[in-house]
Structure 1
Amino acid sequence: MPPGLVVGLTWLVVCQLAGEVLVRLTAVPVPGPVVGMVVLLLALEVRRRRGRDTEQDAAVLAADGLLRHLQLLFVPAGVGVVAYLGALRQDAVPVVVAVAGSWLLGLVVIGWTTRVLERPGSRA
């Protein structure tokens, strides 16, 4: 195992832990790992602006390793769907509306963001 992989995994776990702690302290209704990703983004941006990319490379190395096995992360979600199939069947309409609505909202936001970033003179 390359030493950069261990450093990168440490960065990912520490940022997730920081996100969990921040959510618990502030009682924000956002999952801890999402806040942890924001913390990681901010840490990588600060390091990039200071010209130190060695830790960023380690985090990218660790993330690439996790992405190669991303399909394994869907197993718990699939088991959860099967376990709650009765409840999903009972509330099928709200679930379908929520899934379709969030998909559509995400698509619109990504399209709008892409359009804004592709404008001449935008900083990207």
Structure 2
Amino acid sequence: MIKTFAVLLVFQTLGEGLSFAFSLPVPGPVLGMLMLFCWLLARPNEVAALAPTALEFLKHLSLLFIPAGVGIMVHAQRVAAEWLPLLAALVISAAVSLVVTALVLKWLQK
């Protein structure tokens, strides 16, 4: 478990470092996930070692939404003042996500 946690933290740190060093518009954790994905593709035997702990983390995934909920509550006045743009962004992004997912699925089924 500690090894898996260390691997995840190393890749997140590398991603944060790359994002900061090159002033990339992509968040560090996203770059870290991409590097972890490439590393796991290159070393498939590591997947079996990381899978049990990763599955345990996924069981508690809902805990990761607590900071976002706290952030919304801290800025509740701003959310109340700007509800229309937020609602529009949520609806449009959900619609675009559904359309893109459907198109990718249709393309993959060919």
The gaps in structure 1 that reach 5 residues or longer are 120-124
Q: Which has the higher helix share?
A: 2
Displacement of 1:100 in angstroms is 1.4
User: 2 CA distance for matches of 1:115 and 1:75?
Assistant: 35
State the alpha-carbon separation in 1 of the partners of residues 52 and 40 from structure 2.
14
**1: CA distance between counterparts of 2:102 and 2:7?**
31
TM-superposition CA deviations, 1:53-94 (whole Å, max 9, x none): 1x2122222221111111211111111111111001111111
Aligned position for 2:95: 104
- Report 1 or 2 for greater relative contact order, CA contacts < 8 Å, sequence distance ≥ 6: 1
> Match of 1:56, as an amino acid?
V
Instruction: Supply the distance in 2 between the matched residues of 1:58 and 1:109 (Cα, whole angstroms).
Output: 33
3-state SS, counterpart of residue 43 of structure 2: helix
Q: Which residue of 2 aligns with 1:77?
A: 68
Tell me the equivalent position of 2:22.
26
Percent identity between the two aligned chains: 35
Letter matched to residue 97 of structure 1: A
Give ranges in structure 2 of 5+ residues lacking alignment.
none
**Taking structure 2 as the reference length, what is the TM-score of the superposition?**
0.91
Distance 1:63 1:111 in 2: 28
CA RMSD between the two structures: 1.2
Aligned length: 110
Report the AA paired with residue 21 of structure 1.
G
